[in-house]
Chains A and B, each alone.
Chain A
Amino acid sequence: GDSVTQTEGQVALSEEDFLTIHCNYSASGYPTLFWYVQYPGEGPQLLFRASRDKEKGSSRGFEATYDKGTTSFHLRKASVQESDSAVYYCALGANYGNEKITFGAGTKLTIKP
């Protein structure tokens, strides 16, 4: 079945540091890949998505590029802020006619001022 692997369970950085959260997936065909962000006590909200090889998604200074060759969709940000502290989820949606969405385990990002 489909799966999403996020390598980092927790990341702690200082303001203005560079961020990378690794996401690798396993699925057939061309799934759609998502990054969602969740703040405490709230539901997740979409950061961005990508549906094709080499497509780049971006929002709020975060970006990720769909790489079918390495089956990856790593999240990056050049300079993090304290307000970026949240849990980040990589997710995968199948493109073959069903509604199943598979989420990764999540990465808790803490930014120290």
Chain B
Amino acid sequence: AQTIHQWPVAEIKAVGSPLSLGCTIKGKSSPNLYWYWQATGGTLQQLFYSITVGQVESVVQLNLSASRPKDDQFILSTEKLLLSHSGFYLCAWSPGTGGNAEQFFGPGTRLTVL
């Protein structure tokens, strides 16, 4: 069975500080990987996706970046946090390509920027 793990579970950071969030998928080789952001009480906004190691596509610009250093790992980061970065960050994986495959979401990371 496939499992998806996100770390940390929650973060409280200061404006202007750096951030790194991680996501690991076990039990599935070469998954498609995604990052989503969800403001409190808001919808899910797709941020990045990756089909293969080393390749990441940006969907929206929020002063964030993403990298896929290994087949099973997806990293979201920024050098300088803004207040607007607060929210719930979700990593997801999909077994197929194209927009018609089910996405499996991780438990999320709650980020508070003060």
Contacts and interface: CB of A to CB of B under 8 A. Distances in A.
B44 A99 contact: no
Given A43-B106, A99-B34, A94 B99 contact: yes
A51 B99 CA distance: 10
B98 interface: yes
Nearest to B48: A99
A46 B103 contact: yes
Contacts of B45: 103
Contacts of A89: 43-44
Contacts of B92: 43
B44 A103 contact: yes
A105 interface: yes
B55 to A, nearest CB: 11
A46 B43 contact: no
Interface string B80-94: 000000000010101
Contacts of B49: 99-100
How many interface residues does chain A have, given as a range? 20 to 34
Contacts of B94: 99
Contacts of B102: 34, 46, 49
A98 B92 CA distance: 16
Q: Which 9 A-B pairs have the closest CB atoms?
A: A93-B99, A43-B105, A32-B100, A94-B99, A99-B49, A103-B44, A46-B102, A105-B43, A103-B43
Interface of A: 31-32, 34, 41-46, 49, 51, 89, 91-95, 97-106
26 contacts: A31-B99, A32-B99, A32-B100, A42-B108, A43-B92, A43-B105, A43-B107, A44-B44, A44-B105, A45-B105, A46-B102, A46-B103, A46-B104, A49-B100, A49-B102, A51-B100, A89-B44, A92-B99, A93-B99, A93-B100, A95-B99, A97-B98, A99-B34, A99-B99, A101-B46, A103-B44
Interface of B: 32, 34, 42-46, 49, 51, 57, 59, 90, 92, 94, 97-108
